[in-house]
Structure 1
Amino acid sequence: MIEFDVTGKERVKRRYFIKKSFVLSAGAVISAPLISNKLQAFAHSPATPSAKPDPLSWKSEDINIAWVGHATVLINFYGTFILTDPILFDRVGIYLWGLIIGPNRHTHPALTIDEIPKPDLVLLSHAHMDHMDYKTLLALTEKFPGQLDCLTAYNTRDVIEELNWKSLLEIDWNEEIGIHDIHIRAIEVKHFGWRFPWEHDRSRGYFDDGRSYNAYLLEKKKK
């Protein structure tokens, strides 16, 4: 303890301050490894996929399905290419000024954006950031400007409507639409739809102005 030429009251305050400083310093030393471990887990390097699809070998008379990763699936539906909930970068989360603030994925996508044929339809289930990934959708619409049709859930198009789509349509539960000779029906699922916690969401009872969430039934050639 360092002695100061001050009153006893001031000396007590200084002891208290030094004690508090020591506790805070010790806390920082103890917590630093924990924080470091958390950051390492947050920023781990994704693994390499165990298999790689070859969509260029697919035939238009067949149905082919390739799991690209997470909710991203590339479908050849009798010659029509459909891409679901595309996430083609190694991080997912809030997109700000060209950066994504959020966790890394565990495995790289099985196909890069340059390896995916031009999708005839981008099919989005809901507005969660790990399903409606703004950075990927921006990259796709920049690669194929004005060439992509996109179908998404009710009250979610506002997230991506400024992107350069050929068309951007919403579909509600039990509604049906025909596009690229495919008959599509939206189905209600047990989930929730908000992109940010403060948004209205159908799972919270906001049926008319809440964000929705879809599953889909697809039919082509009566199959």
Structure 2
Amino acid sequence: MMEMKMLKKQLFKKRINPHYNPEKAHHRPYGFENIPPTKIDWRDLLRWTQERRQKRLPQAPSTGYEDFIKKNMVPLHFPEKEASTFIWLGHSSIYISTPEVSIVTDPIFSHRASPLSFLGPLRKTPATSVIESMPRLDLILISHNHYDHLDERTILELYQKFPNLLVIVPLGLKPWFLKRGIEQVIELDWWDCEKLSFSQAPIAITAVPAQHWSKRGFLDRNASLWCGYIIQLGGKTLYFAGDTGFTPLLQEIGERFSIDIGFIPIGAYEPRWFMAPQHINPKEAVEIHQMLNIQQSIGIHWGVFELTDEALDEPPRYLKQSLQEANCQESEFITLAINESRPF
């Protein structure tokens, strides 16, 4: 065990971050880190895994999985091209469509959030014929490389159907796409802005800070960056938070942008002693909504995968309670059924 730990440490030190800029606090010679740095200790992971097994968590939804699906899914209908609409496709996957451009964030429509077909978080709510029925797609936004946000099977199927699509990713993630034959990829650092044009309509994508981490393999922890995105199109400003813990860094996003719609995670937050640095809970989601002065927020990152200890149906209840405690109108921060759409 000790020899393996030393070998991993030596290999980690030899890794070089080609994007390293010593003037940026979140850059390190070997990769990236949060401001201030956060660390996930393997002993804490072991403790959480053991406690979860002993307590038999997570529990099933209060009325069972079948009823949860009935109450929290609707038939999928993609919008007409003329409409400006977004659809929550489950977890952190949002389809955003205007007459000129269509975007999807962190698409995952596979059976599991895992590199293995037989092991890893299993979907509890189905993703039926999403790609087959998707009418068009111009742009994919990826927030980080975790398997529930960057799904190889989904990406390859989307690329096969839409070979001209563009992908925007955080620093360090472009090689993953190039290895799979996807060449139209743009990497962004925090606060980098990419200005694009689709059907002569301008769109601006800005990568913004988040407090999280990255890892897909044994030796690649934090080798690529993580981020949220500001999406400016059709006269509206949208904020996609990706995955994040609560950090004062987020306040600057609200200072720089007047946000019309926020897509903020409300799930995968228990137990707090372990999850707080990497995932906000609904109470913190409301704090972010208020801190950034967002006109309306949509709760995402819940209802699909049982990643942590809370039940699938807990986040919306906790969100409602948190809104009441914050004296915030329920209409300001809502949840949708999977596949439900809203105009914007």
TM-score, with length taken from structure 1: 0.66
CA distance in 2, matches of 1:118, 1:59: 9
Alignment partners' CA distance in 1, 2:97 and 2:141: 13
Where does 1:32-181 land on structure 2 (aligned, <5 Å)?
47=69, 50-55=73-78, 57-60=79-82, 62-95=83-116, 99=117, 101-109=119-127, 112-145=130-163, 147-165=164-182, 167-179=184-196, 180=198, 181=202
Residue-pair matches, total: 170
Which protein is richer in strand relative to its size?
1
C-alpha change, 1:110 and 1:79, in structure 2 (3 Å) is farther
Unaligned runs of 5+ in 2: 1-52, 237-344
Amino acid in the other structure paired with 1:51? V
CA gap of 1:63–1:107, structure 2 versus 1, over 3 A, is same
Q: Give the root-mean-square deviation of aligned CA atoms.
A: 2.8
Alignment match, 1:215: 228
Secondary structure of the residue aligned to 1:114 is helix
Note the alpha carbon deviations across 1:158-209, whole angstroms, 9 max, x for none.
Answer: 22223343611111101010123211111011111222353241xxxxxxxx
2:177–2:183 contact (8 Å) kept in structure 1: no
Larger radius of gyration: 1
Q: Secondary structure at the match of 2:154?
A: helix
- TM-score (ref. length: structure 2): 0.44
Whether contact under 8 Å (1:142, 1:164) holds in the other structure is no
- CA displacement 1:81-109 (0-9 Å, x = unmatched): 001111112222015xxx46422111012
Q: Where do 5+ consecutive residues of structure 1 fail to align?
A: 1-33, 202-209
CA distance in structure 1 between the partners assigned to 2:189 and 2:75 by the alignment:
34
Distance 1:142 1:59, change over 3 A: closer
Q: Please state whether the residue corresponding to 1:183 is helix, strand or coil.
A: strand
Residue type at the aligned position of 2:73: S
Letter of the aligned partner of 1:58 in structure 2?
E
